[in-house]
Amino acid sequence: MSVKQPGLSGLIHTVGEGLEGHVSNRHLALFGIGFVGLFFILPVLLLVPESLHLDSATPFESYRRVLNGIYIDAFVRSFLFGIVTTVVTLALAYLLSYYLAFATERVRIAMTLIIVPLWIAYIVRYFGILLFLSPAGPFADLTGIEPGLLFTTPAVIIGLANVYLPFAVLPLYNSLNAIDEELINASRVLGANKWRTIAKVIFPLSLPGLVAAGLIVFILAAGSFLGPAVLGGPRQTMIANVIAQAFLDNFNIQFASALAIVYTVLLVALLFVFNAVFSLQEVLEKI
């Protein structure tokens, strides 16, 4: 007589019953908050004393160096690349998400094709784009553009948009898919054509997903290291590359920490402005 082994669902059920009454939702939240605090907030706070020259007469020397024009350019370039990448990615993601939500029944297949690239390492994907855009690659053969787009700003934007496109599609598709079809049908019954329905009904109702997708893509793109390192040249250097060079190549931990602190402060300030304009809590509640 064989004894049937419990499956994964049975194991989860057994563990859940054992924990019931002992672990509350507050405990579960504390685990997550504790993890974020220990491995994100604390390391960032440790950068503050590390960035100061406490044993010298000029403890803020690293922050004074940050104001050098070269590093200011890197900050500005990072945020500009983040904005341009966000605009390009959102345009592509909205078209793709609209198709998934309203124009095809093969959502699972299409969504799988979108998610699969997330399983591939960024470095592999960037090198694939590098080969595609190289002077001897398919892009140059198809367009006749010499010497190609490689090591230019468009190459970096194309690479960033390609890598972060799935991160924009997922919240956008979720937002579009949640729109009540009765509202769309009512718009058409009242005489609105397809484009007017999109402009007056679908687009406004999908704004929460658009805002969330834009925020995700901007944060990821502005802090990108591999994209400009693989596809760009000296004129495409972003702040993440500067921080990595200061820390890994020059072993200047204090200056690298100061750059990281300034970048974090600027990013948090932008998030506060973003929240004041769009109210992130309301946006996230509607996704």
Looking at the structure, tell me whether residues 141 and 261 fall in a common domain.
yes
Looking at the structure, tell me whether residues 91 and 190 fall in a common domain.
yes
Looking at the structure, tell me whether residues 191 and 74 fall in a common domain.
yes
Q: How far is CA 38 from CA 23, 176, 265, in A?
A: 21, 36, 19
> CB within 8 A of 147, min separation 6: which ones?
135, 140
Return the number of other C-beta atoms located less than 10 Å from residue 127's C-beta. 15
Burial of 260 (0-12, 13-18, 19+ CB in 10 A): buried
Q: What is the structure's pLDDT at 16? A: 58
Residue 12 covered by a domain: yes
Looking at the structure, tell me whether residues 123 and 264 fall in a common domain.
yes
Looking at the structure, tell me whether residues 14 and 38 fall in a common domain.
yes
Contact 168, 181 (CB under 8 A): no
Looking at the structure, tell me whether residues 22 and 87 fall in a common domain.
no
Enclosing domain of residue 6:
1-50
Q: What is the structure's pLDDT at 90? A: 97
**How far, in whole angstroms, is CA 143 from its chain's centroid?**
30
Residue 101 covered by a domain: yes
Return the number of other C-beta atoms located less than 10 Å from residue 135's C-beta. 13
Looking at the structure, tell me whether residues 71 and 126 fall in a common domain.
yes
* Residues in the chain where the model's pLDDT stays below 70: 1-24, 146-148, 283-287
Contact 283, 216 (CB under 8 A): no
Looking at the structure, tell me whether residues 145 and 6 fall in a common domain.
no
Looking at the structure, tell me whether residues 16 and 150 fall in a common domain.
no
Q: What does the DSSP assignment read for 157-225?
A: HHHHHHHHHHHHHHHHHHHHHTS-HHHHHHHHHTT--HHHHIIIIIHHHTHHHHHHHHHHHHHHHHT-S
Q: What is the structure's pLDDT at 28? A: 75
Contact 171, 213 (CB under 8 A): yes
For residues 128 and 210, what is the distance between their CA atoms, to the nearest angstrom?
Answer: 28
Identify the sign of the CA torsion 272, 225, 156, 139: negative
Looking at the structure, tell me whether residues 42 and 66 fall in a common domain.
no
Looking at the structure, tell me whether residues 228 and 121 fall in a common domain.
yes
| Domains contained in the chain, number | 2
